[in-house]
DNA sequence: ACCTGAACACCGTTCAAGT
DNA sequence: ACCTGAACACCGTTCAAGT
């Protein structure tokens, strides 16, 4: 008979994580496998090797647990572009392509992270601010090298993020127009925008 | 003691709708009032004056009912711009502003309509195609009057839709950057895009 | 401080039965 | 053809109790 600890070790053979971290991991894994409907506190607890209401000792409720998952994801995707990989414009393009790749690979995490939050988690707000700051810096650099038009870099960053986010969201929900031949790719739309902005 | 028919007449004093239509209306109303969590088949039935499982005689399951709500919404928002209201560029701008207004006014319907659908409702697909066709026509007209760059109108329409959709979605979830002073408006970002495209 | 097991109210769905 | 009432499995949350 398998004991709870076996379920844990099957996934984390070498590493010992706190119960809180194991709960977040379990929720993220269930999200990837079966979408939001698959994330039940009972299954989260079972995967983490605890009872179905142990999560209430670490999170206020289910939404609070999901906010922790979103905060962890938000701190991850907008990784700064590799250095020496080209012009500031190319670095910006790669940054947005990375965002698209992450979102298309983990649609449920993407939808969760950019969903509506009634709880205002400080962790979630700080992660969002950090991600935005990195984007504004990349936009400013591209403006300095004359690859983007001048003007408020925050506003231009918001335009680029809106286009990228919208292209991904429409693609994931199947509402993106098949343009001519072949399926339209969110990356193509992002590059279209950057091309129009640089000319 | 109030009888079921009273609940119906309170909302539709003059009009008699089919049970199916009353179920869709009830679901949309609950969606507006309390978000997706408030849409339970039991409450939908109660509002429509039927039992909590009467919906199963009209829809396969809950998702099928929600798909009918989404299809009805999708057929509504992208109303063609008023005639004689200005240049094709202004007509296009007004069309996207109308989209923004509708989405910001009914956030839950917006999220539902552009959410992921595992059911492939023919009704939903037809409504989406019709909406897209109207946008492509407006884009083509603006290209003809030299207010937008040449090229595949479907692809340009996809870019404009992605930006508009993304700006609304980020604004609704609180992830849109406050640009400088005052809160950023999705309409500003749409106009920024159209401005860059026309120059 | 952290966890468990039982319990409560609620929901989606199914089914036998009614007109 | 359309609807009802009872029933089932499931879920989020609470609570008393254990170490």
Question: Could you tell me the CATH number of the domain that includes residue A38?
Answer: 1.10.10.60
Burial of B33 (0-12, 13-18, 19+ CB in 10 A): exposed
Cα–Cα distance, B157 to A177 (Å, whole number): 8
Handedness of CA B39, B45, B49, B55 (dihedral sign): positive
Residues A185 and A104 in one domain: yes
Residues A35 and A89 in one domain: no
- Work out how many domains chain A is built from and give that number: 2
B19 touches strand C (CB under 7 A): no
Instruction: Identify the domain containing residue A185 by its residue range.
Output: 82-198
How confident is the prediction for chain A on average, in pLDDT? Answer: 85
Residues A125 and A180 in one domain: yes
pLDDT in tens, chain B (199 residues): 333 333 433 444 336 789 999 999 999 999 999 999 999 999 999 999 999 999 999 999 999 999 999 988 887 755 555 555 689 999 999 999 999 999 999 999 999 998 877 776 777 778 888 889 999 999 999 999 999 999 999 999 999 999 999 999 999 988 886 655 445 799 999 999 999 999 8
Tell me whether residue B76 is in a domain: no
Residue in chain B closest to A108 (alpha carbons) equals B116
pLDDT over 70, % of chain A: 83
Do B144 and B153 form a contact (C-beta atoms < 8 A)?
A: no
Interface touch B116/A192, C-beta < 8 Å? no
Mutate which of A99, A159, A184 to disrupt the B interface (most B C-beta within 10 Å)?
A159
Contacts of B137 in chain A (CB under 8 A): none
Task: Give A116-156 pLDDT, tens digit per residue.
Answer: 777 767 777 788 888 889 999 999 999 999 999 999 999 99
Residues A30 and A120 in one domain: no
Interface touch B167/A162, C-beta < 8 Å? yes
Residues B109 and B180 in one domain: yes
Size of interface A-B (CB pairs under 8 A): 126
Helix, strand or coil, per DSSP, at residue B76? coil
Interface touch A196/B197, C-beta < 8 Å? yes
Q: What is the model's pTM?
A: 0.87
A17 touches strand C (CB under 7 A): no
DSSP string, A71-102: HHHHTSS-PPPPTTSS-HHHHHHHHHHHHHHH
């Amino acid at each position: 008979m398998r004991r709870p600890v076996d379920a844990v070790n099957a996934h984390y053979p070498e590493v010992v994580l706190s119960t809180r971290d194991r709960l977040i991991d379990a929720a993220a894994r269930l999200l990837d496998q079966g979408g939001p409907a698959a994330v039940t506190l009972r299954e989260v607890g079972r995967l983490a090797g605890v009872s179905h209401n142990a999560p209430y000792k670490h999170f206020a409720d289910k939404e609070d647990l999901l906010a922790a998952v979103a905060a962890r994801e938000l701190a991850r995707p907008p990784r700064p572009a590799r250095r020496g990989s080209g012009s500031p414009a190319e670095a910006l393009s790669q940054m947005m392509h990375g965002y698209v790749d992450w979102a298309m690979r983990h649609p449920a995490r993407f939808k969760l992270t950019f969903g509506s939050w009634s709880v205002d988690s400080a962790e979630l707000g700080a992660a969002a601010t950090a991600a935005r700051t990195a984007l504004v810096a990349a936009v400013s650099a591209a403006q300095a090298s004359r690859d983007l038009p001048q003007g408020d870099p925050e506003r231009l960053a918001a335009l680029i993020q809106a286009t990228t986010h919208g292209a991904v969201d429409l693609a994931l929900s199947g509402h993106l127009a098949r343009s001519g031949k072949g399926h339209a790719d969110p990356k193509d739309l992002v590059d279209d925008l950057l091309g129009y902005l640089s000319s």
